[in-house]
């Protein structure tokens, strides 16, 4: 129940992320602007940076005036004193704020109040989750709940507010529990690239994600078998094929352009056969933009390939117990953009592996 509330609060505060394609550039701009602003506030422990434009402001659960016994949530009035202004030409302290223009002072005061509220909320969430027993059975019962949890975890990661992967005090008890069995709610098929790690990206502790990693996020037969094991025997509800920006495997296959790559690398070309031909090339796009399209298309095609190659997965998807989704991870922003499988192509591309 606590976990549900936690997720609900985060989701309520993250409505703007529902369409990652539209929001990604705006967020990036906001992040850049954030770096230049003096009102940036940092929390000492855990170095939690609070983005000024973060949406948690709307969350109704933010405690404003009361402090429950044992709660770490700081009341709004106290938070600014605990906040440490980052090194900046014009710190948002009260004496200096009075020296600037009224509208500027107002803006700084608002930013400070907003940052304080976010810090208080983060402290409250950390406190709440610390009290929750991570070793208790998980409550994610369907693909939508699994997707909701992944999106919430990714938002925490993007905003520098990871929680579940920081509760090290529970590591020992969690290991002891998990040694008896596992029930990962999602399967993540992703690239071996060292710059991404699904547990961090989705802020999920041990036992929550069943991971298959290979360069280019192309599951081979054993990879598909691993997916089948997870959805059929472990009860995983969601299968995510997670590509990423600046993928070396996709780049290598694209640059080889059909010429055999050395060593065993030919197998990457085999796994991505048809990718170059099915990715539309726009004469106006840059090489980097085209690579983004290839990475996206590869995630979609590999997700489709899992369905095409697994009767077990297809059956579970058909009954609504499991969902398969492609997605792309942005190395710079940390944001995961979930994509959709083209409905028309379902089951049509059976021969591209
Ligand atoms: Zn890669």
147 Cα–ligand 1 center, Å = 22
156-176: average pLDDT = 91
43-65: average pLDDT = 40
228 Cα–ligand 1 center, Å = 23
CA of 111: how far to CAs of 50, 105, 120, in Å? 10, 10, 14
Answer whether residue 154 shows pLDDT above 60: yes
Instruction: Dump the DSSP string for 69-109.
Output: TT--PPPTTTHHHH-EEPS-SS---HHHHHHS-HHHHHHHH
pLDDT tens figures, 246-302: 999 999 999 999 999 999 999 999 999 999 999 988 899 999 999 999 999 999 999
Could you tell me the fold of the domain covering 143-345? Beta-carbonic Anhydrase; Chain A (3.40.1050)
Whether the pTM exceeds 0.75: the reply is: no
Radius of gyration of the chain (CA): 22
Query: Which helix H or strand E contains 41, and what residues bound it?
Result: strand 41-43
Answer whether residue 32 shows pLDDT above 50: no
Are 199 and 205 in contact, with CB atoms under 8 Å apart? yes
160-167: average pLDDT = 89
Query: Which helix H or strand E contains 130, and what residues bound it?
Result: helix 102-131
Answer whether residue 168 shows pLDDT above 90: no
- Taking a 5 Å cut-off on Cβ, the residues next to ion ligand 1 are 191, 193, 247, 249
Sign (positive or negative) of CA dihedral 111, 117, 123, 126:
negative
Are 133 and 224 in contact, with CB atoms under 8 Å apart? no
131 Cα–ligand 1 center, Å = 37
Edge-to-edge strand ranges of the sheet holding 336-338: 209-213, 186-190, 238-244, 323-329, 336-338
In the three-class reduction of DSSP (H, G, I as helix; E, B as strand; rest coil), residue 247 is classed as: coil
Domain range summary for the chain, segments of one domain joined by + = 2-131, 143-345
How far apart CA 334 and CA 204 sit, in angstroms, is 15
196 Cα–ligand 1 center, Å = 9
Answer whether residue 64 shows pLDDT above 80: no
225 Cα–ligand 1 center, Å = 21
Answer whether residue 83 shows pLDDT above 70: no
Q: Mean pLDDT lowest for which of 67-81, 152-166, 180-194, 196-210?
A: 67-81
Given the DSSP bridges, would you call strands 323-329 and 84-85 parallel, antiparallel or unpaired? unpaired
129 Cα–ligand 1 center, Å = 33
Given the DSSP bridges, would you call strands 186-190 and 238-244 parallel, antiparallel or unpaired? parallel
16 Cα–ligand 1 center, Å = 28
169 Cα–ligand 1 center, Å = 33
202 Cα–ligand 1 center, Å = 18
Indicate the pLDDT class of residue 21, thresholds 50, 70 and 90. very low
How far apart CA 56 and CA 172 sit, in angstroms, is 32
Sign (positive or negative) of CA dihedral 248, 254, 258, 259:
negative
Nearest to 147 by CA among 325, 6, 300, 23: 325
Helices 287-309/248-256 angle, 10° precision: 100
Q: What is the DSSP letter of 43?
A: E
In the three-class reduction of DSSP (H, G, I as helix; E, B as strand; rest coil), residue 184 is classed as: coil
pLDDT score at 132: 73
pLDDT tens figures, 286-342: 999 999 999 999 999 999 999 999 999 999 999 999 999 999 999 999 999 999 998
Given the DSSP bridges, would you call strands 186-190 and 209-213 parallel, antiparallel or unpaired? parallel
How far apart CA 123 and CA 117 sit, in angstroms, is 10
3-state secondary structure string across 312-340: HHHHHHHCCCCEEEEEEECCCCCCEEECC
Q: Say which residue the tokens 């529902």 belong to.
A: 18
pLDDT score at 179: 96
pLDDT score at 347: 43
245 Cα–ligand 1 center, Å = 8
280 Cα–ligand 1 center, Å = 20
How far apart CA 339 and CA 325 sit, in angstroms, is 7
Answer whether residue 74 shows pLDDT above 50: no
247 Cα–ligand 1 center, Å = 4
Residues in the chain: 353
pLDDT tens figures, 93-142: 445 545 778 889 999 999 999 888 878 877 777 777 777 777 776 689 99
How far apart CA 209 and CA 202 sit, in angstroms, is 9
In the three-class reduction of DSSP (H, G, I as helix; E, B as strand; rest coil), residue 273 is classed as: coil
304 Cα–ligand 1 center, Å = 18
Question: φ, ψ for residue 109 (rounded to 5)?
Answer: -65, -40
227 Cα–ligand 1 center, Å = 19
């Amino acid at each position: 129940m606590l976990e549900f509330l936690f997720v609900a609060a985060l989701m309520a505060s993250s409505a703007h992320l529902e369409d990652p394609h539209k929001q990604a550039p705006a967020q990036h701009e906001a992040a850049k602007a954030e770096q230049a602003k003096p009102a940036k506030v940092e929390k000492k422990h855990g170095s939690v940076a609070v983005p000024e434009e973060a949406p948690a402001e709307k969350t109704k659960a933010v405690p404003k005036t009361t402090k429950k016994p044992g709660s770490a949530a700081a009341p709004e009035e106290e938070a600014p004193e605990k906040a440490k202004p980052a090194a900046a030409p014009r710190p948002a302290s009260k004496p200096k704020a009075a020296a600037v223009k009224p509208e500027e002072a107002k803006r700084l005061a608002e930013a400070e109040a907003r940052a304080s509220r976010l810090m208080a909320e983060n402290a409250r969430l950390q406190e709440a989750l610390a009290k929750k027993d991570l070793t208790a059975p998980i409550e994610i019962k369907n693909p939508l709940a699994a997707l909701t949890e992944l999106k919430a975890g990714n938002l925490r990661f993007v905003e520098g507010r990871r929680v579940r992967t920081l509760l090290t005090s529970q590591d020992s008890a969690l290991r002891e529990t998990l040694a008896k069995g596992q029930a990962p709610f999602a399967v993540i098929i992703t690239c071996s690239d060292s710059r991404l790690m699904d547990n961090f990206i989705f802020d999920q502790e041990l036992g929550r994600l069943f991971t298959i990693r290979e360069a280019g996020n192309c599951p081979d037969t054993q990879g598909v078998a691993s997916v089948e094991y997870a959805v059929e025997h472990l009860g995983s509800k969601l299968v995510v094929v997670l590509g990423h920006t600046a993928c070396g495997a996709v780049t290598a296959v694209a640059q080889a352009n059909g010429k055999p790559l050395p060593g065993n690398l030919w197998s990457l070309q085999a796994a991505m056969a048809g990718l170059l031909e099915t990715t539309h090339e726009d004469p106006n796009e840059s090489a980097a933009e085209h690579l983004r399209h290839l990475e996206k298309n590869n995630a979609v095609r590999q997700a489709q390939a899992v369905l095409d190659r697994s009767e077990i997965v297809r059956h579970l998807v058909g009954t609504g117990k499991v969902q398969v989704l492609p997605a792309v991870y942005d190395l710079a922003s940390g944001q995961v953009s979930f994509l959709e499988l083209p409905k028309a192509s379902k089951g049509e591309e059976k021969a591209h592996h």
